Structure 1
Amino acid sequence: MTDFLVIAFTILVAGVIAVPIASRLGLGSVLGYLLAGMAISPLLIAMNVNIEQLQVFAEFGVVMMLFLVGLELEPKKLWAMRGRLLGLGGGQVLLTLLALAAIAMFDGQPWQTALGIGMVLSLSSTAIIIQTLSEKGLLKSEGGEASFSVLLFQDVAVIPFLAIIPLLAVPELAAATSQIAGHGDGAHGAGWTVTQNMPAWLAGIVTLAAVAAVAVIGNYLTRPIFRFIASAQLRELFTAAGLVFVIGIALMMTFVGLSPALGTFLAGVVLANSEYRHELESDVAPFKGLLLGLFFVTVGAGIDFGLAAEKYDEVLFWAAIVIAVKVLVLLGIASIAGLRRQSRWLFSLSLAQAGEFAFVLIAFAVANFVFDSELADLLLLVVALTMLVTPLLFIIYDKFIAPAFSKGGEREADFIDEDNSVIIAGRGRVGGIVDRMLQSAGFATTVIDYDSSHLEAVRKLGYRTYFGDATRPDLLHAAGIENAKLLVVALDEREQIDKLVKYAVKNFPHLHITARAVDRGHVYELWSYGCRDIIRETYDASLRMGRSAFEALGMDRQQAVAMTEAFEEMDRSSMQEVAELYDADIPWSENEPMLEMMKGFKAKWDPILREQMDEIIKRGR
């Protein structure tokens, strides 16, 4: 028990120290966990910790992550992605596999081993990519969705890879059965499956039956089971039931030789429309975060520095080859698929590493006489190194590629031949409605947006919108910002909003700026830049929902409107004073003077607001 506590304490301390430092340096949490693992590796070795076994446990974080991703995808949306799944995913896996296999054969490997190397290294890291894209808010972008499509296909591709690898056995390696078997019994071995001794046709039927069982369980059994558990009104019991569901599905998939991550992803998709979706999401997410962090720590700790120092030239060569081949293949596929240039680079750089399933396939290939132990150890180092490099590739994208395209390098901005009093930056969900409202009242607008595919659609509807980056000073001058009366900042990305507001406030003091804020903290930040007309993007919708809630509870429309207005007036009354204490160098949740003022306002205004609400209710009776 003491040994377990010491190990847990060591890993947690390393993560708690390394991740905040890495995040503050702009390196991201993934690289923080990897560096934490590398730092405590000697200590874990000294304590005789079996890192491979720890990694097998930690890989369940990937399983949980895909379950949560599945909860965000409705079956209709998944079906709509089928073209990208086959085109982008299939193309990437096939072309990368063949290219790396050809290089391995040129390096002197037998064709069977070369093909195995191609399979192992063609896959990418679902854990790193989805975690990083989510942190950066890029998962829903064009490049992020394309990357997600490829990752889904790769998870499915693991299944035929596991079926093909035993057919690639190299006769010369089969003679070393005892040594190979010993290596293959490690933590990453394929394990026992129900289908391993079945004929191919029967194994296929059993596999399909398992997938069908996931759909049946998700559609018909989860609701009555969770309804029964919810009746006990014990939160921890619901959490336990959620874990039982995820672990049970993963176990069933493992028994039929499928990827547990794929099985739980399908379960998540089935439950995407369930009324228990959000409850499951909130219950499973903390376990996912901890296990995913542990997984990255074990990857860092599992690096064999002795072997890496001895064969650094081979490791660096193969790591560079893997990244270069993948980037080239992905750029080609992205061009054919019509991804925009900025999205192409995000797509290509994010998928350039080898993935966590490589650990499984390498051990499986050793156990089936496709790799010898020396090659397996080398490939493990290559996989780990490419995973370590991935956060650096994202930094290259953030610091060099994205800013280059934001300056107009992707496509020339449209020539603006209007000089209107209103300029709208962004014609998405928010800017589009503002534009329609103003035009319906007879106000001429100049609308600038950077999403070319979206612009083509709105132009077909008769709305004139100019392509370009609205944060570019030259484009704003072309739009006549010197003479404009109003600038509506309705961009999607927070950094772009901040950049445009700062520039406009500093250079055009006469201009009225109405800016979109993503949350309350962003309101304070925009206020500190000098913007005085700030609209929280979800605020009005939340007020309308609150008003509807009042009506649903028996208030008439007049009462509900009055109560909503009383709350809004009270909420807004303190915003300006609190915003004056905002400090851009300190997160607002850690700004003590600001928090104290907010607490003071809450203590002062809550009783007054309650009196106002009671008075409104009395008048309505």
Structure 2
Amino acid sequence: MALPINSDAFSDALVILGAAGLVIPAFARARVNPVIGFILVGMLVGPAGLGALSGRFPWLYHITISSPHAIEPFAEFGIILLLFSIGLELSFRRLWSMRTDVFGLGAAELVVSAGLIGGALFLLGQEPAGAMGLGLALALSSTALVLPIAGMRSAVGKAAFAMLLFEDLALVPIIFLLGALAPMSADAGWDGLVRTLLIGVATVAGMMVLGRLLLPRLFAQAARTKSPELFLAASLLVVILASVATTAAGLSPIVGALLAGILIAETDYHTEVEAMTAPFRGLALGVFLITVGMSLDLRLIAGSWVPLATAVVGVVIAKTVVTAVLLRLRGATRGLAAEVGLLMASPSETTLIVLAAAAQAQLIQASTASFWQIVTALGLTITPLLARVGSDLSKRAERNVKTELPEASTDTERTVIIGCGRVGRLVAQMLDAHKQPYVAIEADVDAVAHARMRGYNAQYGDIVRPGMLERLQLETAKALVLTMDDPVQLVRITRKVRLMHPALTIVARARDPNHAAELYRAGVTDAVPETLESSLQLSEAVLVDLGVAMGPVIASIHTKRAELRSKIMEMGAVDHEPPIQRRRLSDLAADPVVE
């Protein structure tokens, strides 16, 4: 059945698509954060904005949202897709390695923040059960905003994700806990909590087993058809079925979406799935932010701005202090602790769910819930601003803190290794074996702690931060080794270091011959492409296993390595390669051993 062109749903859809396709690029050109842009659009076209005038000016009907509840399902779907995309970047091995952070740091952050906020509200006259409900609701932080801002690969993103993951897992127990505290609940709430947890565990276990068995076959069949539409349909089907399954079990649909992403991440098709669903995730998240903006009534805010501002500032300060102190106790730097604390300081989209549950359980009055819903919306609105302030404070703190380099930092025999991952650690082992002093600089606090426990000379430092290169005292270093798995940053750092230190030996890890050629143009002394080295090592192993003498094999490998490196350096010395030379680079990457 065709959708009537004058229906509310059709009008709302046009407004949403117009905001995404026209208004947000305009904000981007004006260098306004898209998150703030979506929220401002919601305020402008929502019922409290121009929508309130549609009765007097009928033409506004077509550019305003007449029913804010009509797009709430789209907003929920946006959160589901976001959690699904997060799951695609995880794996069961990575989750297991994060268990201490998730259930240690994450649990401590939620409990302490909720206790501090709830205790303050109790002292201000709120009933104990209501204060607990409000404390738990306001202690939650926004997964939908924090992770897109911080990412998941940075030190800030990793610390935030551990806490956010625990909050997402704790959402359902929190809701059932509030139901158990309801005046009329008796013992039904506790029984329901235990029953739901048991059913939920069984459901998740069943999904894990079925997912590992069925998903590889499902996506293999979709891939064989070479139909992008079928692949996309299969991806969305998995997300929807997983969310429906966890919802039927009494859990949150976001748990199912997260698990679906993790299961697909274990297959060979996760990259394709992530690329397919990215546009839908961004649009759906924008719809959610528009609903946040529509909940803000500027007239109501103007009339109660003092208590609202006080509440927002109080929540932000409490959560910032708790998060920063916990991170400092775990060994994080002051800059990192401040940045993560401010990023996690605002309430969450799930805060609205917990507030509704607390009101339904009669733990708080409806007017109290409405007040804190406005506080939550304001907090979500200022999240990008808090992130910017946190980033600036972090840079300032790191700039003012002297990097604690070892005594060898003033020694000309020192080698500086940037990155203390598997490649950096192996380089450090070889330097140590030949009694060559070194220091490894790593931006991940946990990686630094882990490396130090294993005996590596590792120090914390983010090479991209202003002033960090100067503090490394590269003028006294013998060599610089770049091991990060970030092609763009490798080239940028190489150019900057080469300008500062023309005579310094710079050895860099390259992803492939094309990247190696780019690094040579940037000024590295040597670039080591991973694809070439793995092929050479494979050739060496095959020849030795076939019975060829080790001496001639090693000599031929060295000859081939020098030949290939010479070709890459020759291509890297050309700023604008002609088509024929560019083709030779591609051939070299595809078959580095046999010409």
Using the size of structure 1 for normalisation, the TM-score is: 0.75
Distance 2:536 2:18 in 1: 43
- Aligned-partner residue type, residue 223 of structure 1: P
Contact preservation (8 Å) 1:143, 1:339: no
Q: Cα distance, 1:323 vs. partner?
A: 0.8
1:140 to 128, 149, 153: 153
- Aligned-partner residue type, residue 532 of structure 1: G
2:35 to 26, 30, 35: 30
1:87 to 104, 125, 134: 104
Q: Which residue of 2 aligns with 1:67?
A: 84
Secondary structure at 1:369 match in 2:
coil
Q: CA 1:221–1:86 in 2, change beyond 3 Å: closer, same or farther?
A: same
Contact preservation (8 Å) 2:84, 2:258: yes
Q: Deviations over 1:407-429 (max 9, x none)?
A: 435x6443336532664242524
Q: Cα distance, 1:69 vs. partner?
A: 1.9
| 1:319 and 2:336 aligned | no
Q: Which residue of 2 aligns with 1:49?
A: 66
| 1:154 and 2:167 aligned | yes
Secondary structure at 2:348 match in 1:
coil
Q: Which runs of 5+ in 2 are unaligned?
A: 55-60
Distance 2:116 2:561 in 1: 63
Q: Cα distance, 1:124 vs. partner?
A: 0.9
Distance 1:576 1:161 in 2: 61
Distance 1:545 1:388 in 2: 51
- Aligned-partner residue type, residue 160 of structure 1: P
2:524 to 512, 533, 538: 533
Q: Deviations over 1:26-70 (max 9, x none)?
A: 764433433343344434554353223313322222212222222
Matches within 5 A, 1:361-440: 361-408=354-401, 412-416=404-408, 418-420=410-412, 423-429=415-421, 430-434=423-427
Matches within 5 A, 1:136-535: 139-169=152-182, 202-408=195-401, 412-416=404-408, 418-420=410-412, 423-429=415-421, 430-434=423-427, 444=436, 446-450=438-442, 454=447, 471-472=467-468, 475-477=471-473, 481=475, 486-490=479-483, 504-514=497-507, 531-533=522-524
Q: Cα distance, 1:370 vs. partner?
A: 2.9
Contact preservation (8 Å) 2:439, 2:458: yes
Contact preservation (8 Å) 2:513, 2:589: no
Using the size of structure 2 for normalisation, the TM-score is: 0.77
- Aligned-partner residue type, residue 83 of structure 1: T
Secondary structure at 2:314 match in 1:
helix
Sequence identity percentage: 26
Give the alignment's Cα RMSD to 1 decimal: 4.6
Bigger shift: residues 489-498 or 397-406: 489-498
Q: Deviations over 1:381-404 (max 9, x none)?
A: 100111112111211122232342
Distance 1:404 1:493 in 2: 25
Distance 1:367 1:279 in 2: 42
Contact preservation (8 Å) 2:232, 2:276: yes
- Aligned-partner residue type, residue 241 of structure 2: G
Q: Which residue of 2 aligns with 1:11?
A: 16
Q: Cα distance, 1:125 vs. partner?
A: 0.6
Q: Cα distance, 1:8 vs. partner?
A: 3.6
Count, aligned residues? 559
- Aligned-partner residue type, residue 334 of structure 1: L
Distance 1:143 1:16 in 2: 31
Secondary structure at 1:262 match in 2:
helix
Bigger shift: residues 459-468 or 207-216: 459-468
Contact preservation (8 Å) 2:531, 2:589: no
Distance 1:355 1:307 in 2: 21
Q: Cα distance, 1:360 vs. partner?
A: 1.8
